[in-house]
Structure 1
Amino acid sequence: MQRRRLRVWLVICMVGIMVLVARLAQIQLISTESFSKYGINLLEGSVSQRTQEMVIDNGRGNFLDRSGKPLIYERIPVLILFPFLNYLEWPVEEVASAIGVSEREILESIEGADGPIAFGNPEPYLLSEREMTAINELKIPGVFAVERKYPLSNTQAEQLIGITGENSKLLEERYGEKEFSARTLVGLSGLEESFDEFLVGEGKSKLVYHVDGIGSPLFGINVKYSEPANPFYPINIKTTIDKDLQERAENLVDKHQIENGGLVLLDIESNNILAMVSRPHLNRKNPFGDLGVENQMLKQHIPGSVFKTVVAAAAIDHGLTLPSRTFNCNENIYGKEDPNFQHGELNFTQSFAKSCNRTFADLAKELKAKDAKIIEDYAAKLSLTGSVGWTGTVFHTEKFRQLPDEDFGRVFKNEEARDDNNYVALSAIGQHEVRVTPLAIANMMATIARGGGKQMVRAVESVEYQNGSKVFGFDENKLPGDSISPFTAQKLQKLLREVVVDEEGTGRWFKELPYSVAGKSGTAETGIMKDEKQNHNKWFAGYFPYENPKYALVTVNLGVHSDEGGINPLFADMVKEVYTFDQEN
């Protein structure tokens, strides 16, 4: 009986030892870089216990504006101090003298520190070039003057640029064949996502020293500087954004209390995005928990009367806009008395300026009688139904998209709607199933201002090495497909200008601006009720100066009541800001 018990205990002990050996093998040999369901890197953890380090650069690439100003990170010259200085005699008075602070301030900054610090935290003390040279010439162990990369406190174009995060599964999916730390940042949205292959870190630059169990130097007080072997990295993405214009746009959108919406400003000649603002603000603590991570300027929305520009183009080309023809603008699209608008008999030009619904409903039905796909064809000619962001071949990627978050627009959702006169009438005034993005509307205005030529919209000019040399440049590309003729574009230009100069035009508020404006308003019912009132999308889209077009601008306020949230003041103020910017530059 005793022998049997001994054998049982022996078996249990052997099994236990084997389990322990297997566990140790897993920890020490097998799962060293991805331990447990959380993917913990045990090698990194072991090293971190034996070292203290100060990361100088996280290794991920940066975004620049069109003149080279940083948009995400900036390099700040700072004083780095290591905590082992607390146990040494060192010439603190010389460092204090070099930067013009008291010895006490320096000593107090590292007192009780459990790792290296940047002097002046939380706001680091900025060193001059002379101060950096003076400190480094002292050659004091544990004292360094370096340029450290910090995130900008006031990030611009946050949804356009996007966010990053640690995601080991996504990292493996994208770069399975490459060796990256599991904590490497990857792009999750916006340009951070589309340009991730260029931006992903080659490794951190850091100051490191080794410590024992109580934090004392293990191999003396030598601090090593570690950096990636390739001096050309990290990469910079040079965007088309103008930081000054972007900042002015951000301030104006907030000033006018746009909670859901924003604006797009394009350079007409290059078709580059100069500024793009989306609200609500991005919540970096919970980016995917609300709408903040979505770039509303790239999402499809109901456009309202802005879409009448498409119907106008088709009507011009198909001979439906005779000067002698008039429309009863006391009636709605169904031929009944309109309780809100009594414009009387209007010709085509007056109808566009005053945004008469009846006129464009009638024209759309006449166009449908000729060809049910005419309106969709013209929406495509004005680039409202496809992608307008830059697309092309970049190295091994054939269909590289600068703006992967961009929605496609549409006019009709199905054949039934296309063949129904009531749905056609609603679609003509930008209602029912019509959906477009603010970027596409801005591009439509730029296309008309250029005389009909369609171009892809660029958000990025080039990818550059650290020394400024170009890795890849994004040329100006034409959008595929048919476009409107110069004659039609000229007619539309005059119509858009009439919206502003007509005494009762929907854009008459813009008469006195420093730049002459042409454009179109839009107010769309969303079908969503709030506080027992119908919500609306409010738009104004246009270009300026009218005589010599340079800028296309779209402003939009989404989901507001009809008697609040007007968008005209934002459009007007942005035109003024652009004018001031041009005078200053």
Structure 2
Amino acid sequence: MHRRRIKIWLAIAIIGMVILVGRLAQIQLISTESFSKYGVNLLEKSVAQRTQEMVIDNGRGNFLDQSGEPLIYKKVPVLILFPFLNHLDWPVEEVAAAIGVRDEALLRSLNKAKNPIAFGSPKPFRLSESQMEAINKLKIPGVFAVEKKYPLSDINAEQLIGITGENSTLLKDRYGEKEFAPRTLVGLSGLEKSFDEFLVGEGKSKLVYHVDGVGSPLFGINVKYTEPANPFYPLNVKTTLDKDLQEKAEKLVDQHQIKNGGLVLLDIETNTVLAMVSRPHLNRSQPFGDKGVQNQMLKQQIPGSVFKTVVAAAAIDYGLQPPSRTFDCNQNIYGKEDPNYQHGILDFTESFARSCNRTFADLAKELKDKDEGIIEAYAEKLSLTGKVGWTGSVFHTEDFEQMADEDSGRVFHNEEAKKDDNYVALSAIGQHEVRVTPLAVANMMATIARGGDKQMVRVVESVEYQNGSKVFGFNEKKLTGETVSPFTAQKLQKLLREVIVNEEGTGRWFQELPYAVAGKSGTAETGIMKEGEQTYNKWFAGYFPYENPKYALVTVNLGVHGDEGGVNPLFADMVKEVSAHDKTEEKTD
């Protein structure tokens, strides 16, 4: 019996030893880079225990505006202090004198430091060039003046630019077995995602020193500087955004209390995005928990009467709008008395200016009788269906999209709807299944302003090396497919201007602006009730100056009650800001 117990305990001991040896082998040999269900990199953690470092640059590329101003990160010249200085007799007075602070301030900042610090953090003390030179001339171990990359406190165009995160699985899916530094950031949305291959880090730049168990220098006090081998990296993505206009647009959207919606501003000559704002704000702690990560300017929305521009273009080409023809605008689209709008008897031009639903419902049904595909064809001619963002061949990628998050627009959801008079009438006024993106609407306005020249929209001008030379440039490209004729575009221009100059026009509020505006309003029922009431999408889309078009602008407020959330004041204020901006630019030139 006693011998049997000994054997049992011996067996337990052997099994225990095997388990311990197996666990040790897993830790030391097998799962060194992906330990446990959390994928812990044990090699990285081991090194981290024996080193302390200050990351100067995370290695990921930056976004710039059209003039080269940073949009995500900025480089700040700072003073880096290592905690082993607490155990040394170092010339703190000389350092303090070089940057014009009291030596007690430097010692205080170091007192409780366990890792290297940037003096003054979280708001680092910014050094001048002469101060940096003076510090580095002292050659004090553990004291460095460097340019450290910091994220900007206020990031504009946040949904357009997008977000990054740590995701080793996604890195492997995108780049196969290519090796990356631990905790490499990867683009998850927006331009960060579209341009990830250009932006993904080649490695961090950092100051590193080795320590023992209590944090004292292990191999002396020499600090090692490490950086990626290629001095041309990280790359920069130079956007077409104007930082000044973007900041003004962001402030205006918030001032006008747009909770869900935003604006798009295009440069008509180059067909590039100057500013793009989307609300709700991006919640960076839980970006995918609500709509905040979505760029509403690239998502399908119900356009309402903005879509009448499409019907007007088709009616012009098919001769359905002779000057003598009038429409009963006291009636709704079904030919019954309209309880809300009593516009009277109007001709085609007045109907467009005052946004008479009956006129465009009748015209759409007549177009359908000629050809069921006419309305869709004209929506395509005016760039409202399909995508309008720049796409093309970039190195080994044939169908590269600058704005990969962009939705396509549509008119009808199925073939049967094209044949139904009621559905066609509803579609004519931008209801039923009609869906367009604000970006596409802005591009429609730019296309009309250019006389029918239909182009892709660019938001990135080029990808550049650190020295500013181009890796790849994105040239202007035509959108494929047919477009409206110059004659039709000219007729549409006059209609859009009539919306403003007509004393009963839906854009008459814009008559006194510094730039002459042409445009179209829209109010669309969403079919969604809030607090027991129907909600609406409210639009104004247009371009300016009318005689010499330079800008296309769309403002939209989504899902608001009928008696609130109008976007005319936002549109007007943005036109004023653009005018003021242009005057400033002229003075500078």
Give the TM-score range, shorter chain: over 0.9
Paired amino acid for 1:165: G
Q: Which residue is equivalent to 1:174?
A: 174
1:6-47: CA deviation from partner (whole Å, max 9, x where unpaired): 333333322222222221111111111111111111111001
Residue 252, structure 1, aligned to residue 252, structure 2: yes
- Structure 2: how far apart are the matches of 1:137 and 1:182? 34
In structure 1, the partner of 2:94 is: 94
SS at 2:56's partner residue? strand
Structure 1 position 400, deviation (Å): 0.5
Residue in 1 aligned with 2:553? 553
**Deviation at 1:182?**
4.2
The Cα shift of 1:283 comes to 0.6
Structure 2 counterpart of 1:509: 509
SS of residue matched to 1:434:
coil
State the secondary structure of the residue aligned to 2:96: helix
2:460 partner letter: V
Structure 2 residue matching 1:197: 3-state secondary structure: helix
**Partner residue in 1 for 2:536:** 536
Give a deviation string over 1:279-299, Cα, whole Å, max 9, x none.
Answer: 000011110111110000000
Using the alignment, how far apart are the partners of 1:450 and 1:387 within structure 2?
A: 19
Q: Structure 1 residue 5: deviation in Å?
A: 3.4
- Three-state SS of the structure 1 residue aligned to 2:22 is helix
- In the alignment, what sits opposite 1:32? 32
What is the rounded CA distance, in whole Å, between the counterparts of 1:490 and 1:308 in structure 2?
Answer: 16
Equivalent residues in 2 for 1:182-581 (5 A)?
Answer: 182-581=182-581
CA contact (8 A) 1:166 1:182 kept: no
Shift, 1:176, TM fit: 2.1
Partner AA of 2:210 in structure 1 = H
SS in 2 for 1:46: helix
In 2, the alpha carbon distance for the partners of 1:543 and 1:112 equals: 58
Paired with 1:181 and 1:175, the residues of 2 have a C-alpha distance of: 13
The offset of 1:418, in angstroms, is 1.2
Output the amino acid matched with 2:509. W
One-letter amino acid of the counterpart of residue 129, structure 2: E
Matches within 5 A, 1:49-128: 49-128=49-128
Residue matched to 1:21 = 21
What amino acid is the match of 1:30?
I
Q: What is the rounded CA distance, in whole Å, between the counterparts of 1:509 and 1:179 in structure 2? A: 59
Query: Which range is displaced more, 3-12 or 302-311?
Result: 3-12
Count of residue correspondences? 585
Judge conservation of contact 1:372–1:418 (CA < 8 Å) in 2: yes
How much does 1:171 deviate?
A: 1.1
Alignment partner, residue 136 of structure 2? 136
- CA shift, 1:431, in A, is 0.4
- Return the letter of the residue paired with 2:269: E
User: Aligned-residue CA RMSD in angstroms?
Assistant: 0.8
Distance in 2 between residues matched to 1:22 and 1:235, nearest whole Å: 45
Query: What SS is found at the alignment partner of 1:54?
Result: strand
CA distance in 2, matches of 1:16, 1:241: 64
**Unaligned stretches of 5+ residues in structure 1:** none
- The secondary structure found in structure 2 opposite 1:392 is strand
Structure 1 equivalent of residue 154 of structure 2:
154
Deviation per CA, 1:541-574: give whole Å up to 9, x if none.
Answer: 0000000000000000001111111100000000
Q: For 1:575 and 1:200, locate their aligned partners in 2 and report how far apart those are by CA, in whole Å.
A: 37
SS at match of 1:232: coil
C-alpha offsets along residues 447-466 of structure 1, whole Å, 9 cap, x if unaligned? 00000011000010000010
- Distance in 1 (alpha carbons) for counterparts of 2:400 and 2:22: 46
Tell me how far apart the structure 1 counterparts of residues 453 and 378 of structure 2 sit (CA, whole Å).
Answer: 14
**For 1:179-204, what per-residue CA distance to the aligned partner results, in whole angstroms no more than 9, with x for missing partners?**
11341100000000010011011110
Q: How far off is 1:508 after superposition?
A: 0.3
SS of the residue 1:218 aligns to: coil
> Residues 44 and 182 of structure 2 are in contact (CA less than 8 Å); yes or no, is this contact kept in structure 1?
no
Letter of the aligned partner of 2:531 in structure 1? D
Distance 1:40 1:419 in 2: 60
Equivalent pair of 1:60/1:199 in contact (CA under 8 Å): yes
SS at match of 1:489: helix
Secondary structure (helix, strand or coil) at the match of 1:113 reads coil
- Preserved CA contact (<8 Å) 1:167 1:182: no
Of 35-44 and 515-524, the range deviating more from structure 2: 35-44
Deviation at 1:415, TM superposition (A): 1.5
Distance 1:98 1:113 in 2: 22
Matched position secondary structure for 1:155: coil
Q: Distance in 2 between matches of 1:336 and 1:101?
A: 80
Per the normalisation by structure 1, the TM-score is 0.99
Paired with 2:571 and 2:412, the residues of 1 have a C-alpha distance of 29
**In structure 2, what residue type is equivalent to 1:214?**
V
Q: Indicate if the aligned counterparts of 1:264 and 1:553 stay in contact, CA closer than 8 A.
A: yes
Q: d(CA) in 1 for partners of 2:576 and 2:174?
A: 45
Q: 2:385 and 2:18 mapped to 1: Cα distance?
A: 65
Inter-partner Cα distance in structure 2 for 1:21 and 1:307: 72
After superposition, what is the alpha-carbon deviation per residue over 1:212-247, rounded to whole angstroms, capped at 9, x for unaligned?
Answer: 001111111111101111101001000010100000
CA distance in 2, matches of 1:30, 1:393: 42
Share of identical aligned residues, percent?
79
In the alignment, the residues of structure 2 paired with residue 32 and residue 394 of structure 1 have an alpha-carbon distance, to the nearest angstrom, of 38
TM-score normalised by the chain length of structure 2? 0.99
Looking at structure 1, the residues matched to 109 and 157 of structure 2 have their Cα atoms a distance apart, in angstroms, of 35
Moved more, 16-25 or 381-390: 16-25
Q: Distance in 1 between matches of 2:450 and 2:18?
A: 77
C-alpha separation in 1, matches of 2:458 and 2:108: 50
> 1:458-500, CA deviations, whole angstroms, 9 ceiling, x for partnerless residues?
0100000101110011110100111111111000000000000
Is residue 443–residue 457 contact of structure 2 (8 Å, CA) maintained in 1? yes
Q: Which amino acid aligns with 1:175?
A: Y
Segments of structure 2 that go 5 or more residues without pairing to the other structure are: none
